[in-house]
Structure 1
Amino acid sequence: MADGLYADGIAAGRLPGEDYEKNFADLHPPLDGHEARVEADRCYFCYDAPCMTACPTSIDIPMFIRQIATGNALGSAKTIFDQNILGGMCARVCPTETLCEEACVREEAEGKPVQIGRLQRFATDAAMQAQRQFYQRGAASGKTVAIVGAGPAGLACAHRLAMHGHAVTIYEAREKSGGLNEFGIAAYKTPDGFAQAEVYYVTAIGGITIERGKALGRDIALAELARAHDAVFLGMGLAGVNALRAEGEDVDGVENAVDYIAMLRQADDLGRLPIGRRVVVIGGGMTAIDAAVQARLLGAEEVTICYRRGQEQMNASQFEQDLAASKGVAIRHWLQPKRVIAENGRVTGIELEYTVLSNGRLAGTGETLTLKADQVFKAIGQSFDAAGLNGSGAAVALTGGRIQVDGEGRTSMPKVWAGGDCIAGGDDLTVSAVAQGRDGAESIHRALAG
């Protein structure tokens, strides 16, 4: 149809063409050299470094900031990459306001922490733009390792294994590497193809082969990988999307937020993406915020996030909530979906029930609210799809629907490790996945060397 017009209030091209580039520009423009040195000078270089303790990858934050302050951006980048080879992405997407920056002494004293995330980006960007590689592949060990998933955990694991001289093959289900970093993060956080640039930077160490379009359980079997390789690392993330459990949720116009974000991230022309005039997002985490904000940036007139609990229980950080509000997104609490309203098979609204905590448990009150909607996004969490583990020839134990691992990332199946969002107890953060991939690689190396 002309201008991508869809029925029932869903349309593409809602905005003038030039607005899309402006709306999806870099959320936090990079610091220049002067700004970075001025910001670095604010650091107290604390001897006990609470910021470093708060970082899941334990980057030596005072050291890398001191190096920036003395004009050594490349040395700063190496300090970061020593602990987190995906430090460039983490600088962009980490919830630093609840991790390192929340622990900053200046945050405690002044309510204005050192901008650690932006300083980390300054240093890592300098290294990547200069194509400066700090690591070489170790002497060939003769050992091979298979990695399932080319996301943050898999890439971090692969890089560390290559440093030890092991030959690595990554099997990636999609036709593009990067995992969550490529497909699951708001476009305004990682513009200009940064996710792919980082994949190339990480794999430039050598000794890493990526086979795309290879899904576990469909194209390859875990038992086969274990037989063919000296070790296997599972880092396939979360593929399942939780249901609304609301009547009528299967009608047209009710979509998975993660799928829509992935489509948006791969779009060549944002002006051709259909978006509703009135959009409702169900959920309270980062995916809900990303979906809602991007709906507004695409031209949706009314966007409402509905969350079943209160503001203090939302998984999205306060910064992300404030960002959504600044873009015109309304956030409503204590509402859970009850019924999707449709006409001619397409959503026209959603009925929600007010909730309360009763004896510590969430309960519906029976009182309802109806919101008009052309489009409803489900963003109520993802789940691990264990189907790909079938045919492994050995049980891979699960806990809470995810892979059970010990303190070194080993699963119940010999020769198999796991890390990232697919393991039990994970916090669904890129930086945590990187830490688990790195530490899993070290555990694999010890096992192979021993």
Structure 2
Amino acid sequence: SHPFKRAANSGRHIAVVGAGPAGLSCAHRLAMLGHQVTIFEAEQKPGGLNEYGIARYKMTDDFARKEVEFLLEIGGIALQYGQRLGDNLSLAALHQQFDSVFLGLGLGASRALGLTGDDAPGLMPAVDYIKTLRQTKDLESLPVAKRCIVIGAGNTAIDMATQMARLGATEVTLVYRRGTEAMSATDHEQEIAKANGVRMVTWAQPDEILLDDQGCVAGMRFAKTHDQAGQLTPTGETFDLAADAIFKAIGQGFDSASLTDEAARELARDGERIQVDAFFRTSMPNVYAGGDCVNSGQDLTVQAVQHGKLAAHAIHQALAAKQEAA
């Protein structure tokens, strides 16, 4: 038996964009409150970064999928895959067709290094590779670069480096532009990486991507850095590291391509993120947002889940007030 009971059908239908932690949490709570929900998800399966972005060795098998199936058991929730806002899905249409819309858009776009060769074969965002890894049944079939460079200092960078070492790369080097003490990855994560043979190079920032005659990645030139009166400054020295693959794990930006239809363009923004009030309301009536696409200070899964839940209650209350006014 399911621990959550669904309230009597309210006759209201809400669109949720994104089947990541925020969207799923919002949909589940709305369903519990008796509303019909349709979730529109860009990928071919739900779970968001939990399914696509967390290193394979950390997740138990099918964790995200089982969790989603459990959430859907409450009833009243339909899931549609391959639906990408700004591509084959428009906010204007959702706004017209549904009583309310919740945007649970994640951080889809990997930040570019801003160097020439950003699109060279052999250079890729770590999250994309981790995604491939999580979706590969047979790891033997996956081409593993012998020498890898991972750029970044967060848990994704460490995950990536550890993952490559475990997959059999002979040389994995993690490079960070500041010192170890400034790394956002926890000491525990750093220890795991070192235990797996990952070499860490600090005070070095990417200067140039080195390519071979075929235009593939051959390595990277780094500029040595130091802290000068609180400013990160190149020392003028450079050094080269040979590599067959370079993974950038320098954080993910908000994928603003999803906010390009006329209606979405009108949403008030806070920097690149969507601006919301204390009730997760955007500047557009009946449109709410939560999770990584709003500026909340911390991009933590628990927080995304909490946003979804609180937004669901705000939507519910607004719909109830409307009903009373009618």
**TM-score with structure 1 length normalisation?**
0.69
Q: CA deviation at 1:288?
A: 0.8
Q: Which residue matches 2:293?
A: 422
Counterpart of 2:242 (choices 357, 360, 372) is 372
- Note the alpha carbon deviations across 1:335-368, whole angstroms, 9 max, x for none: 1100111112111111111112233222211111
Counterpart of 2:71 (choices 202, 216, 228) is 202
Contact 1:279 1:302 in 2 (8 A): yes
- 2:315 partner amino acid: I
Q: CA deviation at 1:249?
A: 3.1
| Runs of at least 5 residues in structure 2 that lack an aligned partner in the other structure | 322-326
Secondary structure (helix, strand or coil) at the match of 1:303 reads strand
Q: Which residue matches 1:446?
A: 317
Any residues of structure 2 matched to 1:186-265 within 5 Å, and which? 186-265=55-134
Give the distance between the partners of 1:181 and 1:393, measured in 2 at CA: 29
- Note the alpha carbon deviations across 1:118-155, whole angstroms, 9 max, x for none: xxxxxxxxxxxxxx521011111111110000011110
Give the distance between the partners of 1:313 and 1:408, measured in 2 at CA: 34
Secondary structure (helix, strand or coil) at the match of 1:261 reads helix
> How many residue pairs align between the two structures?
319
Q: Establish whether residue 162 from structure 1 lines up as the match of residue 31 from structure 2.
A: yes
Q: Which residue matches 2:267?
A: 396
Q: CA deviation at 1:388?
A: 2.1
Contact 1:221 1:388 in 2 (8 A): no
Contact 1:352 1:370 in 2 (8 A): yes
Q: Which residue matches 2:324?
A: none
Q: Establish whether residue 336 from structure 1 lines up as the match of residue 205 from structure 2.
A: yes
Give the distance between the partners of 1:403 and 1:312, measured in 2 at CA: 32
Give the distance between the partners of 2:53 and 2:306, measured in 1 at CA: 19
Q: Establish whether residue 362 from structure 1 lines up as the match of residue 229 from structure 2.
A: no
Give the distance between the partners of 1:273 and 1:266, measured in 2 at CA: 11
After TM superposition, which residue ranges in structure 1, 4 or more long, deviate above 4 angstroms? none
- Higher helix proportion (structure 1 or 2): 1
Any residues of structure 2 matched to 1:278-317 within 5 Å, and which? 278-317=147-186
Give the distance between the partners of 1:346 and 1:393, measured in 2 at CA: 41
Give the distance between the partners of 1:226 and 1:392, measured in 2 at CA: 12
Q: CA deviation at 1:313?
A: 2.0
Counterpart of 1:349 (choices 216, 219, 222) is 219
Give the distance between the partners of 2:258 and 2:117, measured in 1 at CA: 29
Q: Which residue matches 2:303?
A: 432
- Note the alpha carbon deviations across 1:367-401, whole angstroms, 9 max, x for none: 11211111100111111122222224361112221
Secondary structure (helix, strand or coil) at the match of 2:50 reads helix
Secondary structure (helix, strand or coil) at the match of 1:265 reads helix
Secondary structure (helix, strand or coil) at the match of 2:57 reads coil
Q: Which residue matches 2:193?
A: 324
Secondary structure (helix, strand or coil) at the match of 1:275 reads coil
Give the distance between the partners of 1:245 and 1:371, measured in 2 at CA: 19
- Higher strand proportion (structure 1 or 2): 2
Q: CA deviation at 1:248?
A: 2.9
Counterpart of 1:406 (choices 277, 302, 324) is 277
Q: CA deviation at 1:426?
A: 4.2
- 1:252 partner amino acid: P
Larger relative contact order (C-alpha < 8 A, sep ≥ 6)?
2
Answer with 439-448 or 360-369: which moved more: 360-369
Secondary structure (helix, strand or coil) at the match of 1:337 reads strand
Q: Which residue matches 1:381?
A: 251
Give the distance between the partners of 2:310 and 2:262, measured in 1 at CA: 24
Secondary structure (helix, strand or coil) at the match of 1:367 reads strand
Answer with 393-402 or 303-312: which moved more: 393-402
Secondary structure (helix, strand or coil) at the match of 2:56 reads coil
Give the distance between the partners of 1:312 and 1:207, measured in 2 at CA: 48
